Amino acid sequence: MLLVVGPVGMARAEGGTCPPGFYPQNGPGVLGCAPIPDGGAESVGSGPKWATRWGAIATDGANAAFGAASDIPRKRAAQKEALAQCKARGGQACKVDLVYYNQCAVMITGDFKYLSQGAESVRVATEVGMKRCGELDAGCRVYYSGCSLPVRIR
């Protein structure tokens, strides 16, 4: 089966919730959940400490190539990994479609289009992505799903 996709653009989840101890943090080209600051207290007994994890999805629609990275400690490293996977799968003009942190993401493909969707869980990302895809195309299905959830380090 040949996967033929065309760019739709990056889709974003609106609203939603983050894991306990985190709040939504969205910016240009980035979706994620950031730890709630503890008021600057840095004592060992002040509660859990979390490390952010990044993910990215890269595509080359003209060559039906796709790459993804998840659970990466740094944003740029996640982008580079997704681009490298896309190029290794035949991509010649791979571009990062979605960068996310402390969340999950899916890539939804239809008969002619695709989109990347981030949200607090695979379930929510799938629901939002399938709805958006269904408004643009037929034959929508989840092609990829992955999560980059925060890691407790203390």
Render pLDDT for 8-37 as a digit per residue (tens, 0 to 9): 443 333 345 577 777 777 666 566 777 776
User: Please, what's the b/e burial string for 102-122 (b: 16 or more CB within 10 A of its CB; e: otherwise)?
Assistant: bbbbbbbbbeebbbbbbbbbb
Locus of tokens 């929508």? 140
pLDDT of residue 143: 97
Q: Rounded to 5 degrees, what are φ and ψ at 49?
A: -120, 135
Cβ of 42: how many Cβ atoms within 10 Å? Answer: 8
**DSSP state at residue 90:** T
Q: Name the band, by pLDDT with cuts 50, 70 and 90, for residue 4.
A: very low
**DSSP state at residue 27:** B
Q: Where are the beta strands (DSSP E) in 64-129?
A: 65-72, 95-101, 103-109, 114-119
CA-CA distance, 148 to 74, in Å (whole number)? Answer: 11
Render pLDDT for 35-72 as a digit per residue (tens, 0 to 9): 776 644 455 568 899 999 999 999 999 999 999 999 99
Structure tokens at 59: 């595509």
pLDDT of residue 29: 58
Look over the chain and give the mean of its residue pLDDT values, rounded to a whole number.
85
Beta-carbon contacts of residue 63 (< 8 Å; ≥ 6 apart): 90, 91, 92, 93
